[in-house]
Amino acid sequence: MAKSAKTTIIGGLVLVIVGIGLIAGILIYKKSADAKIAAWPKAVAVVVDVETRWEKDSDGEYETTYVAVLEYKVDGKTYKMRDSKKSIRPSLGSEHEISYNPNNPADYISAPMGITIPSIIFIAFGGLSAVMGVLLILKGVKSR
């Protein structure tokens, strides 16, 4: 087998493994989060503050994001946490269902998880990597 064909096949295998790993990782994470949401107790969190942040994007332009400060009570104790960044400004006083860890109520997950834009990007990149890997493998095998 020619050295370039062998390198092409190995490169293709690496891309397939990376692609499958990305997809599997996202799906495993989502399944784990969904299991926590189903098993952990629920609480209602209220948006008590909204932090506005300006961050540079990849083009060097500033982008506005919002971080909701959530407050919820478990067994009479109040917990205050910063939720993930959003592109849409959350409304003060709005209520959101969360699931919290019964062993550590400060550990929570916003429910439901759903499919997020980052997970879609990772799945798409994983799928593209896997397809490109298969094409490289086929090219390497064909040039032998």
For residues 16-28, average pLDDT: 91
- Element containing residue 29 per DSSP (H, E): helix 3-39
Q: How does pLDDT run across 107-127, given as a tens digit for each residue?
A: 888 765 456 677 788 889 999
Q: Tell me the domain boundaries of the chain.
A: 1-39+115-144, 41-101
Cα–Cα dist 76/73, whole Å: 6
Q: How does pLDDT run across 58-102, given as a tens digit for each residue?
A: 788 888 888 889 999 999 999 998 887 676 788 899 898 888 999
How many degrees, rounded to 5, is the angle at CA 26 between CA 32 and CA 118? 120
pTM of the model as a whole:
0.59
